[in-house]
Amino acid sequence: MKLLITGAVQWTDEQKEKIKSLGNDLIYAQDERIPLSRQGIEESAIEAVICNALFVYNDIKKFTSLKYIQLTSAGYDRAPMDFIRKSGIRIYNARGVYSVPMAEFALCGALQLYKKSGFFFENQKRREWIKQRKLRELFGKSVCIVGCGSVGEECAKRFQAFGCGVTGIDTHVFESKAFREIKKAECLKSVLKVSDIVVLTLPLTEDTYHLMGREEINAMKAGSILINIARGAVVDTAALLEGLRNHLLGAALDVFETEPLEESPLWELENVILTPHNSFVGEGNNERLMNVIIENLERNGNAYRS
């Protein structure tokens, strides 16, 4: 199988050899943003790809032999899913690969806001010995996690370990030891009203665009915090700004409607932690990703091997 791999993964020679040993002829493209035709690669010959945002910059219709896609991202929002489904192309995401660092990041954001780490860091730089009497505890807090997939479940485990009561919101209701309970999406506003911490881990779709709009932000409990490690467009930024200036304690935001974040009032707010879409980073990612890649190739290899 002619398999295109891209610079979305930092490949080792050993990993490349392992993929070759499964009966694949490797084609390598370093930069997905450069059209493959300009890199001397014929799209029509490619039968499978391992990529991130390849089809944002390359027309999938030119990949006339394509049968298999392995994304290096957990989300499908940068893949033309309607065309992929219609064409019968098998597609896999990187489910579970980034869940651990993202969950740790969400917990870190909550702790930074509750323990006012920014205040202490600034005082440390100035060598000022000033106590802070308004620190909060995670213990006993109510946490709402919107999106109960792999990332949401890992978040739930960690908040639960700190003594929080964790309620999930998802399109599908199921039982999980990580959650106190999981409720349907239509229960979102009622759960927001009683939650101290709201964590967004859901995918971006037509249905979830601006899911956290003005009504939802206004429904959030006074003194609560919002943590977004999902996609920026899940949140209406204008509504969030209004909430942050009024009743919300703060927010930890790793994703934004427009990235990179340039001119924005968010930069000026002292009750906001901003990071550059970085929550997925962890030293265990490469090993977890390769396990997913190899497992999926082994499962599908015989069917596609030419």
State pLDDT tens for residues 284-299.
Answer: 999 999 999 999 999 8
What pLDDT is attached to residue 301? 63
What is the C-alpha to C-alpha distance for residues 71 and 64, in angstroms, rounded to an integer?
18
- Residues 164-202: tens digit of each pLDDT: 999 999 999 999 999 999 999 999 999 999 999 999 999
C-alpha triplet 221, 222, 224: angle, nearest 5°: 70
Cα separation, 146 vs 191, whole angstroms: 10
Count how many residues are written for the chain: 306
Angle, CA of 52, 55 and 57, to the nearest 5°: 105
pTM given for the model: 0.92
Q: Between 301 and 3, where is the model more confident? A: 3
**Share above pLDDT 70 across residues of the chain, in percent, rounded to a whole number:** 98
Q: What is the mean pLDDT of the chain?
A: 96
Q: What amino acid is encoded at 8 in this protein? A: A
Q: What is the mean pLDDT of residues 99-106?
A: 98
Lowest pLDDT segment from 6-10, 158-162, 260-264, 299-303: 299-303
User: What would the mean pLDDT of 262-287 be, rounded to a whole number?
Assistant: 97
Contacts of 126 (CB under 8 A, 6+ apart): none
H/E stretch holding 92: strand 90-92
Mean pLDDT of 268-293: 97
Assign residue 223 a region (left: φ > 0; alpha: ψ between -120 and 50; beta: otherwise).
left
Is residue 305 predicted with pLDDT exceeding 60? no
Q: Give catalytic status of residue 287 as yes or no.
A: no
Q: What is the 3-state secondary structure (H, E, C) of 105-149?
A: HHHHHHHHHHHCHHHHHHHHHHCCCCCCCCCCCCCCCEEEEECCC
Q: Are the C-beta atoms of 147 and 170 separated by less than 8 Å? A: yes
Question: Residue 80: what pLDDT?
Answer: 97
CATH H-level, domain 99-274: superfamily: NAD(P)-binding Rossmann-like Domain (3.40.50.720)
Helix, strand, coil percentages in the chain from 3-state DSSP, rounded to 5: 40, 15, 45
Return the pLDDT at 300: 81
The pLDDT > 90 percentage for the chain reads: 97
Instruction: Provide the 3-class DSSP secondary structure of residue 224.
Output: coil
Determine the angle formed by the axes of helices 99-115 and 150-161, rounding to 10 degrees.
Answer: 40
Name the active-site residue from 90, 136, 247, 277.
277
For the cut 50, the answer to whether the pLDDT of residue 303 exceeds it is no
Q: Which amino acid is at 4?
A: L
Structure tokens at 180: 């106190």
Per-residue pLDDT averaged across 201-226, rounded?
Answer: 97
Closest-CA residue to 153 (of 89, 110, 109, 199): 199
Tell me the average pLDDT across 2-17.
Answer: 95
DSSP conformational letter for 235? B
Q: Give the 3-state secondary structure of residue 261.
A: coil
Where along the chain do the CATH 3.40.50.720 domains lie?
2-95+283-304, 99-274
137 is a catalytic site residue: no
Distance of CA 6 to the CA centre of its chain: 20
Please compute the mean of the pLDDT values over residues 232-249 and round it to a whole number. 98
* Average confidence (pLDDT) over 264-292: 97
Q: Which CATH superfamily is domain 2-95+283-304 in?
A: NAD(P)-binding Rossmann-like Domain (3.40.50.720)
Single-letter residue type at 185: A
pLDDT at 304 over 50: no
Token pair recorded at residue 86: 């219609």
For residues 93-121, average pLDDT: 97
Is 277 a residue of the active site? Answer: yes
CA dist., res. 87 & res. 83, Å (int): 6
Tens digits of per-residue pLDDT, 18-76?
Answer: 999 999 999 999 999 999 999 999 999 999 999 999 999 999 999 999 999 999 999 89
From the list 42, 137, 259, 298, the catalytic residue is 259
Residue 173 bridge partners (DSSP): none
Q: What is the mean pLDDT of residues 263-271?
A: 97
Phi, psi of 268 (to 5 degrees): -90, -15
